[in-house]
Structure 1
């Protein structure tokens, strides 16, 4: 190792699986460890288990709901987005300032805009080399979700989106580089760069052989997030016919799956798991349903399903963000009827989709290879080659 020291700041613990920002955080930990030691500051607590790598230190502070409300209210007059205000909590600020005072860090990276804005008043004490990583632009994300939300939630989300636009414009001056997972949004904003989501080498394995006459269908994601709950409801409607007929079994995989399955079941036998290892859970499935009604986030669920070698049925737009082509890498579907039609086609002749599964798997494993993307991060942060 070169002996460098890095500080990564995130809202949620690196231990928490099932969220997009956590996927990025864990990938960055692995990439930066090639250059030195990594400290991660986040909210969390309650789990004192050391990280498996002794070169990684987790500093976690408890999240306070009352402090979140207070932070959001205090930030409103100054234009601080609510998305950031809820994280501007005294314990988080004290931990950040304490680490900067004693840590001797060479660089500081923020995972998503939220903690970056929450800690903006104290950035002057941070090293000159500081960067920001975002899944997608929160302002556009908020607009998309708000467009489907009922009033008054719609009005609140549009108000928040306007504040986030101004905050994102400031980010270009505060951080270098600003890295986006979403390539289209990065291309529209000078000074922002695109870095795809990465796949850890050897993490995903080929699924079990297809069983004739009965499909194992899954829907994965963090189901505490409203767009994923909405998408899961659509997937259940699309798969309901086959499940009711006994020619398919349907399982929700991810955080909040049991509660959502109970809500959506309506008499259907829907399985639910909160797997610690999503790659292992996907290896026991045949088909992944990945419909997206609100086009937000990096759609990690599509990437993981393709990497696991499943037959992917997905909304075309989000699949295109990670480079997948309809008909070649996945089966496109936009509503319950088209989901049902694609599932019927797979059930009728699952072997016909073997080349599609292999093409998708080969593509994502190459395009999203973590070792290759680590070199791209090295260039973006001007780190040079790792040593040791």
Structure 2
């Protein structure tokens, strides 16, 4: 019986259903940036087939030529139902949502509603590199609030950043990653309540990137930021992009708290022209009909998380890692390896330095370089473990050999 259950798990785990040869036929950035001898564990794409519910919805649309402009509130309704089912949260009102091209472009548009050029945007570093690039490109100043050694929000550092952000009476926003990318921390309700209290005290508007919200692993509980007291004037942005591997099918949702509805109403009408109709169809199907597939994925990711912890201990004994509570991203602290870190600074996603450069050159494993994630990232790498156990084992074996080679 146990053998039968294990075999069934292998059949349903999306992470073991594609071979490397099949994956290398893909033409996306993950599989075309590096030569074929490189194992790509960097950018946030998963090595999974499309969820059947999403594939069926897209196939049906294509068969009838339904490839026009996006319309309707089905996407928001699907997310609202998903939030009730998965998080017990009934706070998504369709009239306080807007479809945007993707989460990062939606963040830019929301920040334009609540800040002006020259205002400050606080981030908890190390954090997703596009936070730096997109915000600075839009003439806002980044103020960093470094995470604690445990990878969690440090209330004292956040308060200090809020105080600096508001100096001179300028406007400020806090761009929060919830769950946090790259550490995989899932903020607790108590932590989010502290954020809300500090934001209210200092007059800082909160914009929560919750794109990884469906990817909370066993042992943690996701709390939508808009569900905590004091977050009524905040915004959240999300999509099915990360959890169902839909980055190439552009569509996301901006959700406003009750006191932010008037701000969201000022969103320019032309922003709604950016999302793809097929993207809206795919994301709607994922939230509405793809939860069974998601559960199978989460089971596989949980097993990979455990496997990765074992492999890091075996192959990289000098490397410290933060066991992620959510996402499929692992943050590895490689500072003990003593590799010199160079690079142009945060936000340049393709820039490689230090351990990431060594692992690419010597192990032929592509990882994200820590220094592009801002303060606290130097000497670290981010590893995407949304792949097969076989690929994980091979990648960590290569990395271990490369590290041992640098010490001989």
Name the TM tier (shorter chain): 0.3 to 0.5
What is the TM-score normalised by the length of structure 2? 0.32
TM superposition score normalised by structure 1: 0.34
Q: Which has the higher contact order (CA 8 A, sep 6+)?
A: 2
